[in-house]
Amino acid sequence: MRIGIIGAGFVGQNVAKLAIAQGHEVMLSNSRSPKTLFSVAAALGSKVGTAQEAAAFGEIVLLAVPMTALADVPGEALAGKIVMDANNYYPQRDGQIAELDAHRITTSELVAQHLPRAHVVKAFSAIRAVELFAGARPAGDAERRVLPIAGDSEEAKRVVIKLTEELGYEAYDAGALADSWRFERDQPAYCVPLDRAGMTQALAAARRDL
């Protein structure tokens, strides 16, 4: 599978490493220039391009940029694509976003508003970037970690679940994008290593007024 990655920070690089190890083709991009990714791409064995090129390249695309960069994401190039949204909202970094502060919308619903023709699935957002590569385990491993996903397209979720499990994690369907607040920042399922039973409990214990 061809995977485009918009955002070449630790999340993007670690997903790229896992994907390349499983035989997928990857194109990394950042907000600066493909030239700035030369050393990273050489180390990973990935292609590099602009965000527009990564969006066009990917059969599935990982979005791993700060919320402040959302306006620069090439929406038209992602039309019809499955977009894995790994974003989280940090007011200290992103500034205050009134809709999110008032809990009127989830972070991934905000992404989906910007990408109305894409199939957005929240994924790889509830694990620390530094744990992504080291934490992967094969199917059947007793320490295999469960990661939650959420989306409005059942077909898109099936694709993301399959990829998540290929990359070393058990996927947990946590519902629609409107339900994805249950594993956003500060919730019990956020960045905590859990098995399936633990994830069920953590999602059920989530409180939106935090």
- For the chain, give every domain's residue range: 2-204
Question: Mean per-residue pLDDT for 157-165?
Answer: 98
Question: Mean per-residue pLDDT for 121-131?
Answer: 97
- Which pLDDT score is estimated for 84? 98
| Confidence band, pLDDT 50/70/90 cuts, at residue 58 | very high
Phi, psi of 88 (to 5 degrees): -135, 155
Task: Return the closest-CA partner of residue 185 out of 112, 99, 96, 106.
Answer: 106
Rounded to whole angstroms, the Cα distance separating 11 from 86 reads 8
Question: Mean per-residue pLDDT for 15-26?
Answer: 97
Domain 2-204 CATH (choose: 1.10.3720.10, 3.40.50.300, 3.30.390.50, 3.40.50.720):
3.40.50.720
pTM of the complete model: 0.96
Q: Is the pLDDT of residue 209 over 90?
A: no
168 Rama class: left (phi>0) / alpha (psi -120 to 50) / beta = left
